Amino acid sequence: MSKFKLPKTFFGWSNIKWVIKELMNVYSTNKSFFSKKRLESGMAFLVGQFGMVYFMLQNHATMTASDLAIWAGIEFAISGYMVTQIQKEKKKDDPNESHEDQV
């Protein structure tokens, strides 16, 4: 029988050290692979999502259909906002985009 092995290239100690070094570079004056703005907005999104899911799990027994609809609406609004912001950044940062298309 063959055992499942995790690829050493992803979970190796050298990659863990690289990620830690790059995360430290985000808050220093050195250049970093990660974007500080995206890192912070991603963390805020995860904290917000955890809070929303925790609220729903704690109150699902007493929630009415309108409460659930409002909760889902807020979830979709947050997700839509995040996707829109990411697409704006991609469009602004795209070096291959021609200026003629922006008219």
User: By the 8 A CB rule, do 48 and 78 touch?
Assistant: yes
Q: What is the mean pLDDT of the chain?
A: 76
CA-CA distance, 5 to 47, in Å (whole number)?
32
CA-CA distance, 41 to 80, in Å (whole number)?
14
Does residue 50 surpass a pLDDT of 60?
yes
Q: Model pTM greater than 0.85? A: no
Higher pLDDT, 9 or 74: 74
What is the predicted pLDDT for the residue at 103?
45
Rounded mean pLDDT of 11-18?
76
Query: What's the token pair of residue 17?
Result: 């050290």
